[in-house]
Amino acid sequence: MSNQILLIATSNPGKMREYAGLFRDSHFQLLSLEDLGISHEVDETGLTFRENAWLKASEYAALAGIPTLADDSGLEVDVLGGEPGVKSARYGGEACHTDQDRVALLLRNLEGVPWEKRTARFRCVINIVGPGGSEGGELPPVLLAAVVGSVAGMIQYSPEGHDGFGYDPVFYLPSCGKTIAQLSLDNKNQISHRADAAAKALRKLAVVSPVPKADS
């Protein structure tokens, strides 16, 4: 059976590995931006996860000419009013260059906050967009699926674990007794916010069956 082609709009190798695992048993052949030689970066000017997911999915679908999955996701810490939120990957601005810098800033901003108030969640919004086409003129991109996934936890006092990225080393899951970074990728892909959203997206794609097939 031929696979269906789907571009994953990310240059983050950790995120690409997660999607490879999440779509492992599906009928999709995943391509990355690197696979297609796309170096263009979409300006994430949206004020919400949903807006940024649409910006990335629609622009890369138009560039690549194939259906494209883009997500925007981040960490929401209740006591910080939902920060870093949509700015999770840019938390701290130019003063923070790495994930470790951003984690350190988060922990500094939570100094003195007791355990019971360190509640947080990871949220992921996935948009899957078809490129539209042309028929006497360009047709707009087509939204094929829009879903939201989340996972709740706590922000612990110091990083633990080496198997995740981003804020995974400080995001503690009470149900597992570990941070996300202490989980194997297979375990993470059973419970993460991205796993939740990807499962919902796959169910929607099974209904709309939108994407072209790769050569056998």
Counting every residue written for the chain, the total comes to 216
Distances (CA, A) of 65 to 7, 82, 125, 141, 164: 10, 36, 22, 10, 32
Confirm if 68 and 6 have CB atoms less than 8 A apart.
Answer: yes
Q: ∠ at Cα 46 (41, 47), nearest 5°?
A: 145
In angstroms, rounded to a whole number, what is the distance separating the alpha carbons of residues 172 and 57? 30
Catalytic one of 72, 99, 168, 196: 72
Tell me the two tokens of residue 196.
Answer: 């939740």
Distance between terminal CA atoms of the chain?
A: 7
Q: What is the DSSP letter of 34?
A: T
Using alpha carbons only, how large is the chain's radius of gyration in Å? 18
- Non-local (6+) Cβ contacts of 209 within 8 A are none
Annotated active-site residue 196? The verdict is no
Q: Which active-site residues does the annotation give?
A: 72
